[in-house]
């Protein structure tokens, strides 16, 4: 028997019921993550990529959210955790970094204090040891003059350094899984690449599994082994990054790659854009949610939702027309 | 086509093709308000009070000023005096009906005047910004620093008793808070990109204020101001109670509460009636203001 | 290349910020003495990191704020003189903002928003409305369906199309696009970029295209200006800037772009740390603190924009004859 994956998400449905109409943010997501693997979840706003991530830590507002399906992390049934266990689970089993460090960092405490406090709270031990570990973490995330920086408040640091400090905080309790919710989107290009490299390094060093949410294929390429492309609350294609990049099989992935402006284009050449706009989650079309924008759509696409089709080793596409998207042999 | 041409009065809209019209902002407000049962109930109460005030001479069974010592302080339910009589033998029902006139006027009029003046000050300060803003707003803050009751009493005391002076002092009390809200909302709107875009199109300040600012700031200011009506009524009643507002023998609720307080042990129900009216009216205005705020989707 | 349509000379914008209660008054040097031309019919891309002054430059070009110093010439005439009133200038130069929602008045219908500008400039209401509907069709939105709608009923991509239509309603020569596609989803971004190219051809427009997305800037621009901490680092033809840059910062910027090649990922970050604070920029060359090629002289001497190749200027002591940097060319005799 194979070892079960570290993270196993099965048939996850998340519906927000707070508004006048239920919003079906996630409609049947299956996802697994192996130890030490980096998976990028790629999608546009409203594709459900962040909601999936938040569901793993149960960060979506519980009263206004209906969650169905199962999420297992290291054998723990996340959806069944009691509030005490959930608290221990957050940070120790799974921790998260955000686009805005302001969400994770407390402005009134120094960074050293925050990290040490987290360590003492989760693992016990003395403040001195915790403080030493905080210093060690700051060194690991390559913060220059870490000793001095530990006594800084979040606002005293630049955006990139804050992001590093947040990563240090997330790693404080040696989590098995690191969730990253667009941590580089708000950063400048030269800082973004530093953080991406850092995530890669830490992943190698700590053997941590990373789930990295992004809207930018380029970012996914820099960090991930595997990519899951989300659209309308479903994973429409998943596979090794090379396969997705070189031989995408879902029309949405194909369209996304083709519509990118890239260096090899001649001046004035028009982009091969996907027509239309992303679906309204309160009003999802029946069948494949990409069908209304899809060039290859058949009437059947608007009637029932396609199941994932295996199109290569570990490469699945949720499409009825995978035969039409197969690469032409050269 | 009537709706189109009414939008564009200066030319017949014949040559312009018909378009799909979205229900406007106000249609949405009415729809949302229509779902708020409590606010509708409060609105009905306010409407009834308004009608009572307007048609007081027709509704009042007796002369509110005519009293006779022989029938002083009759209890509620007395024949001919359904709500009893006051300490001078005047019919309570008639006095309460006429009192609606004073109370509504004292509640609404200062707020309307303060809404006009305060909005003007606040919008100017907010739109112009910079040193002008600082000068205007710090002056306003001086007035705002006084507790409103104290300011109203002090001003009325200085101006002397009487309805007009009470109206003036209440107006002055409400200008600072309204101006502050107006300034805050205008500053917000002024920094929106659509105002920048309007400036970039070469429009003059007054045009921008008229087209882009007013429509987006008056709603929030209005909603805030409606919430002040109940405060104004209570303050006005307080002034009358202290003898600084409406003077006897006028049938104003606050004044009635004052003169009847000696009768609280003999006829507690009768003595409490004006207070109940103040309570019902002010709470109705408050609920109505809350409903409007939700319906207009305003965050003050 | 054709004549310059917009000429910027010695443009400076300092924002005063409150120092401590008794501390010295400080300024943010958002834009610090920049000069460039925008040629008739070209797309000039402006790139740089946060704090480099690209958005401030856009607002200065639009005259939404007064410059601390410097002047802007449109077609040879100085703005605000009898030759060219500010109102007339604003008819010629328009802007599209990043936030598609915040840049539309929520209380106005789409057509009223677009028709506002022309009405300000004296176009009768009916004509302005007709123009608005024509433009809606031009930006790919069915007028009969969209003219009477309100901004909140539309998607981000549709709203940005409307903002573009609004900018075009005055029939300007120049449109400044300040991160105009940055907030859009990638699949929608491509549509809007195509639209911008179509409109440019149809209306013979000149674009100033500001973005932090280097791929998009490269795709859109004929020439690119790289800014760093309020200064122009390099300006030149798009291909030259991206493929063969002179300034170490431009090189680092292009090498920071994700590779899109899983077998050849970036293995070393071209730069370490964040851009310094524009309140207290480093002396000399502002980039020297992060530059791997910096020498002692870079901390003392401020480079000036020097012609390094055809139509290609760079502000780096390495390219400045006789600057004292070991890589600098000798002074021409």
At residue C15, the 3 state secondary structure works out as strand
Nearest chain A alpha carbon to C277? A158
Which chain C residues have a beta carbon less than 8 Å from that of B207? 120
Nearest chain C residue to B204 by CA distance is C120
* Cross-strand bridge partners of residue C177: C96, C209
Residue A73's closest CA among A97, A53, A47? A53
User: Which candidate from C155, C186, C271 shows the least CB-CB separation from A277?
Assistant: C155
| CA pair distance C131, C112, nearest whole angstrom | 11
- ipTM of this complex: 0.87
The residues in C 108-167 lying below 8 A from A, measured between CB atoms, are 155-158
Distance from the C82 Cα atom to the nearest Cα atom in chain A, whole angstroms = 38
**What are the mean pLDDT values of chain B's consecutive 10-residue runs (300 residues total)?**
38 55 79 88 92 87 78 75 79 88 88 95 92 91 86 88 88 94 93 91 91 90 89 86 82 84 82 88 90 75
Instruction: Mark yes or no for CB contact C259/A158 under 8 Å.
Output: no
Taking the Cβ of residue B200 and every Cβ of chain C, the question of whether any pair is shorter than 8 Å is answered with yes
User: Least CB-CB distance to B17: which of C86, C113, C144?
Assistant: C144
Name the minimum distance, in Å, from the CA of C221 to any CA of chain B: 24
On chain A, the residues whose CB falls within 8 A of the CB of C274 are 158-161, 188, 191
Q: C219 in contact with B at a CB cutoff of 8 Å? A: no
Annotate chain A with three-state secondary structure: CCCCCCEEEEEEEEEECCCCCCEEEEEEEEEEECCCCEEEEECCCCCCHHHHHHHHCCCCCHHHEEEEEEEEECCEEHHHCCHHHHHHHHHHCEEEECCCHHHCCCCCCCHHHHHHHHHHHHHCCCHHHHHHHHHHHHHHCCCCCHHHHCCCCHHHCCHHHHHHHHHHHHCCCCCCEEEEECCCCCCCHHHHHHHHHHHHHHHHHHCCEEEEEECCHHHHHHHCCEEEEEECCEEEEEEEHHHHHHCCCCHHHHHHHHCCCCCCCCCCCCCCCCCCCCCCCCCCCCCCCCHHHCCCCCHHHHCCCCCCEEEECCEEECCCCCCCCCCCCC
pLDDT tens digit at each of 330 positions of chain A: 567 889 999 999 999 988 778 899 999 999 999 988 999 999 988 899 999 999 999 998 888 899 999 999 988 899 999 989 998 899 889 999 998 887 788 989 999 999 999 999 888 889 999 999 999 999 999 898 899 999 999 988 888 899 999 999 999 988 999 999 999 888 888 899 999 999 999 988 888 999 999 999 999 999 999 999 999 999 999 999 999 999 999 999 999 998 887 766 777 788 888 988 888 888 888 899 999 999 899 999 999 999 999 999 999 999 999 888 887 665
CB A212 within 8 A of CB A245: no
What CATH code is assigned to C4-17+26-259+274-281? 3.40.50.300
Which of C107, C150, C183 is the best mutation test for B, with the most CBs of B within 10 A? Answer: C107
* Average pLDDT of chain C, as a whole number: 90
Dihedral angle computed from the Cα positions of residues B200, B205, B206 and B209, in that order, rounded to the nearest 10 degrees: 70
Minimal-distance CA residue of chain C relative to A159: C274
Q: Who's near C302: CB < 8 A, 6+ residues apart?
A: C283, C284, C285
Q: Residue B290: CA atoms inside 13 Å, Cβ hemisphere, count? A: 13
- Indicate which of B24, B189, B190, B200 best probes the interface with C, i.e. most C CBs within 10 Å of its own CB: B200
**Whole-angstrom Cα distance, residue A283 to residue B285?**
39
Helix (H) or strand (E) holding B8: none
Please list the pLDDT of chain C residue by residue as tens digits (333 residues).
Answer: 578 999 999 999 999 886 556 666 788 899 999 999 999 999 999 999 888 999 999 999 999 999 999 999 999 899 888 889 998 999 999 999 989 999 999 989 999 999 999 999 999 999 999 999 999 999 999 898 899 999 988 888 999 999 999 999 999 999 999 999 988 888 889 999 999 999 999 999 999 999 988 889 999 999 999 999 999 999 999 999 999 999 999 999 999 988 888 888 888 889 888 888 888 889 999 999 999 999 999 999 999 999 988 889 999 999 998 888 888 888 765
Q: How do the domains of chain C map onto residue ranges?
A: 4-17+26-259+274-281, 282-333
Partner-chain contact C121 B202, CB within 8 Å: yes
A-to-C residue pairs, Cβ atoms closer than 8 angstroms: 131
Residue to test with chain A: of C52, C186, C249, most A Cβ within 10 A:
C186
Write out pLDDT tens, residues B52-83. 989 988 888 888 887 777 777 777 777 777 77
Tell which CATH classification among 1.20.210.10, 3.40.50.720, 1.10.3720.10, 1.10.540.10 matches the domain B29-296. 1.10.3720.10
Give me the residues of C, 266-305, that contact A with CB < 8 A.
Answer: 266-275, 277
C159–B contact, CB cutoff 8 A? no
φ/ψ of residue A293, rounded to 5: -110, 0
B212 contacts chain C (CB < 8 A): yes
């Amino acid at each position: 028997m194979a070892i079960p994956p570290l993270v196993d998400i099965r048939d996850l449905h998340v519906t927000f019921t707070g508004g006048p109409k239920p919003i079906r943010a996630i409609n049947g997501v299956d996802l697994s993550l192996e130890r030490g693997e980096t998976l990028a979840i790629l999608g546009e706003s409203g594709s459900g990529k962040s909601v999936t991530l938040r569901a793993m830590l149960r960060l979506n507002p519980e009263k206004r959210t209906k969650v169905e399906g199962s999420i297992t992390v290291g054998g723990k049934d996340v959806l069944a955790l009691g509030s005490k266990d959930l608290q221990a689970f957050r940070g120790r089993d799974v921790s998260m970094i955000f686009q805005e460090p302001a969400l994770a960092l407390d402005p009134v405490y120094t960074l050293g204090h925050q990290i040490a406090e987290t360590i003492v709270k989760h693992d016990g031990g003395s403040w001195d040891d915790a403080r030493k570990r905080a210093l060690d973490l700051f060194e690991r995330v390559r913060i220059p003059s870490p000793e001095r920086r530990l006594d800084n408040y979040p606002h005293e640091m630049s955006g990139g350094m804050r992001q590093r400090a947040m990563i240090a905080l997330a790693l404080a309790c040696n989590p098995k899984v690191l969730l990253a919710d667009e941590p580089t989107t708000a950063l400048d290009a030269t800082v973004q690449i530093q953080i991406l490299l850092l995530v890669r390094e830490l992943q190698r060093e700590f053997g941590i599994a990373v789930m990295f949410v992004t809207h930018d294929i380029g970012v996914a390429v820099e960090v991930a082994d595997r990519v899951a492309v989300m659209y309308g609350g479903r994973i429409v294609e998943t596979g090794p990054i090379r396969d997705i990049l070189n031989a995408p099989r879902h029309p949405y992935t194909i369209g996304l790659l083709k519509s990118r402006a890239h260096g090899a284009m001649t001046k004035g050449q028009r982009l091969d854009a996907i027509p239309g706009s992303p679906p309204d989650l309160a009003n999802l079309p029946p069948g494949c949610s990409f069908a209304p924008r899809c060039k290859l759509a058949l009437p059947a696409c608007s009637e029932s939702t396609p199941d994932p089709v295996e199109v290569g080793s570990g490469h699945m596409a949720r499409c009825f027309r995978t035969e039409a998207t197969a690469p032409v042999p050269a | 086509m009537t709706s189109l041409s009414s939008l564009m009065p200066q030319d017949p809209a014949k040559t312009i093709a018909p378009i799909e019209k979205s229900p406007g902002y106000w249609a949405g407000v009415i729809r949302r308000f229509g779902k708020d049962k409590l606010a509708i109930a409060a609105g009905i109460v306010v409407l009834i009070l308004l009608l009572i005030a307007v048609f007081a001479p027709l509704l009042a069974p007796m002369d509110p000023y005519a009293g006779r010592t022989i029938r002083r302080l009759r209890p509620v339910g007395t024949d001919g005096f359904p709500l009893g009589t006051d300490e001078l033998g005047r019919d309570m029902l008639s006095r309460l009906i006429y009192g609606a006139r004073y109370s509504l006027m004292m509640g609404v009029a200062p707020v309307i005047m303060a809404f006009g003046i305060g909005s003007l000050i606040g919008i100017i300060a907010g739109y112009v910004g910079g040193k002008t803003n600082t000068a205007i707003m710090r002056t306003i803050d001086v007035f705002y620093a006084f507790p409103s009751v104290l300011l109203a009493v002090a001003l009325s005391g200085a101006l002397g008793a009487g309805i007009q002076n009470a109206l003036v002092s209440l107006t002055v009390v409400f200008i600072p808070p309204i101006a502050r809200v107006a300034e805050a909302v205008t500053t917000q709107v002024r920094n929106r990109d659509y105002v920048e875009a309007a400036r970039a199109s070469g429009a003059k300040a007054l045009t921008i204020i008229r087209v882009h600012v007013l429509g987006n700031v008056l709603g929030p200011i209005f909603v805030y101001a409606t919430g002040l009506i109940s405060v104004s009524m209570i303050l006005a009643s307080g002034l009358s109670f202290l003898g600084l507002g409406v003077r006897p023998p006028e049938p104003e609720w606050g004044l009635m509460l004052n003169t009847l307080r000696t009768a609280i042990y003999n006829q507690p129900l009768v003595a409490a009636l004006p207070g109940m009216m103040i309570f019902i009216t002010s709470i109705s205005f408050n609920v109505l203001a809350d409903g409007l705020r939700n319906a207009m989707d305003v965050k003050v | 290349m054709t004549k310059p349509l917009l000429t910027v000379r010695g443009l400076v914008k300092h924002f005063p910020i409150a120092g401590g209660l008794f501390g010295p008054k400080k300024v943010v040097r958002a834009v610090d003495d920049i000069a460039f031309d925008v040629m008739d019919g070209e797309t000039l891309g402006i790139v740089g990191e946060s704090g480099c002054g690209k958005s401030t430059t856009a607002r200065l070009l639009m005259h939404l704020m007064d410059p601390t110093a410097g002047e802007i010439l449109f077609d040879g005439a100085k703005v605000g003189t009898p030759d060219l009133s500010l109102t007339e200038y604003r008819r010629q130069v328009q802007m599209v903002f990043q936030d598609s929602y915040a840049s539309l008045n929520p209380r106005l219908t789409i057509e009223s928003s677009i028709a506002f500008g022309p009405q300000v400039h004296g176009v009768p209401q009916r004509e302005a409305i007709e123009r608005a509907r024509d433009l809606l069709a031009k930006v790919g939105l069915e007028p009969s369906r969209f003219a009477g709608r309100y901004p909140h009923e539309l998607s981000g991509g549709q709203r940005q199309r409307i903002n573009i239509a609004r900018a075009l309603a005055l029939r300007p020569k120049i449109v400044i696009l300040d991160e105009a596609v940055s907030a859009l989803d990638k699949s929608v971004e491509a549509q809007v970029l195509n639209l911008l190219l179509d409109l440019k051809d149809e209306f013979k427009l000149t674009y100033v295209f500001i973005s932090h997305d280097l791929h998009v800037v490269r795709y859109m621009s004929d020439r690119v200006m790289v800014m760093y901490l309020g200064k122009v680092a390099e300006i030149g033809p798009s291909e030259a800037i991206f493929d063969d840059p002179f300034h170490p910062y431009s090189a680092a910027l292009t090498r920071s772009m994700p590779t899109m090649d899983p077998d050849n990922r970036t293995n070393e970050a071209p730069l370490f740390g964040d851009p310094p604070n524009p309140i207290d920029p480093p002396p000399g060359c502002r980039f020297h603190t992060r530059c791997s090629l910096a020498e002692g002289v870079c901390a003392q001497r401020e480079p000036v924009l020097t012609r390094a190749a055809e139509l290609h200027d760079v502000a780096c002591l390495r390219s400045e004859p006789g600057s004292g940097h070991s890589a600098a060319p000798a002074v021409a005799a």
